[in-house]
Amino acid sequence: MWISQHDIPNCNYRNKRGLPKGSTLKNNGSCPVTISNILRNSFGIDEMSPRFVAKIAFNTGSISQSGTDVKKTLNALKKISGTFQYRIVTDFNAAKMALLNGDLVMASSHPDGDFNLFGDRNIYITLIDYIEQNSSVLIHDPNYNKNKPVKNKARKFNVFETDCIGIFEVRESAISRVCDKYYIFTSIPMLSDVAPQYNIGAKYTVSKRVRIRKRPNMNSEFVKTTLGCNKTAVPGTEIYCLDVRNDHKGNIFIHAESGWILAYDSDSKIIYVE
């Protein structure tokens, strides 16, 4: 479930000195709301609600007049959950590769003059997927509401509605123009030098967020599908094994009811399904 800031009308988001004055999650909480959305949707950590993340930001002194100290907040949350890790990059192509690998990315966005995609000030958004055939990015805007301006030239040309509230498809060139920092979230992987054994007809559990793929191609590699609103398997998802295949690199794929899932990556030794 993707939560908007406007779903949380009465929650102060200020430091111990009461600053920024009048700040709430509704009008100034894109950072904790976005962090919460990622931790809940990508890692299944339901207790990481926007209010809880805001409380941790307050307790760690992460809130200031200029915004949220993201690293301080995330490091505190890592100590609490212990199930995720993150890294920061400034290159959109690195964020793009993370999306193609099935990871979620938090991006710091800003208006560029009159090139105003997400608001008239800096906010945080979630990058959900890279859509290769359209050279676009599927994003969640936590500051979305029905009255948000959508008619400025930049938004009219670059932002496209989807069937999911608050989720939009945005041209790659526009994202790279207004976003200058990307926080790539990954789960702490299970590693093994020995490839696990999977059996048709057995049930397994996804241990790390992974993309759902559509079909193998002619050289036995697997083609990734376009992500809609939830075309990923998140940690804790139970799957029923319909078929098992290996490619020439030693990667193992399981065919579940929703599609093909990478169960074991032979290069990184990561176990995605256990």
pLDDT above 50: residue 222: no
pLDDT band at 230 (very low <50, low <70, confident <90, very high): very low
Question: What's the pLDDT at 267?
Answer: 86
Average pLDDT over residues 101-123: 88
Average pLDDT over residues 1-8: 92
Q: Which is it for strands 136-140 and 167-171: parallel, antiparallel or unpaired? A: antiparallel
Residue, of 230 and 194, whose pLDDT is higher: 194
pLDDT above 80: residue 133: yes
Average pLDDT over residues 170-195: 91
pLDDT above 80: residue 146: no
197 token code pair = 């054994």
Span of 40-54, 156-170, 212-226 with lowest mean pLDDT: 212-226
Residue, of 152 and 196, whose pLDDT is higher: 196
| Summary mean pLDDT of the chain | 87
Coil, strand or helix: which one is 57? helix
Question: What's the pLDDT at 224?
Answer: 35
Residues near 125 by Cβ (< 8 Å), separated by ≥ 6?
30, 34, 106, 107, 109, 118, 139, 140, 141, 142, 179
Between the alpha carbon of residue 217 and those of residues 99, 130, 151, 214, 247, the distances in Å are 21, 20, 42, 10, 11
Question: What's the pLDDT at 71?
Answer: 96
Question: What's the pLDDT at 115?
Answer: 87
Average pLDDT over residues 79-108: 92
Span of 99-113, 133-147, 148-162, 260-274 with lowest mean pLDDT: 148-162
Please compute, for residue 35, the number of CA atoms within 13 A of its CA located in the half-sphere on the CB side. 29
pLDDT above 80: residue 49: yes
Region of 44 (left: φ > 0; alpha: ψ -120 to 50; beta: rest) is: left
Average pLDDT over residues 155-174: 90
Please compute, for residue 250, the number of CA atoms within 13 A of its CA located in the half-sphere on the CB side. 11
pLDDT above 60: residue 216: no
Give the predicted TM-score (pTM) of the model.
0.78
> What are the beta bridge partners of residue 124?
108
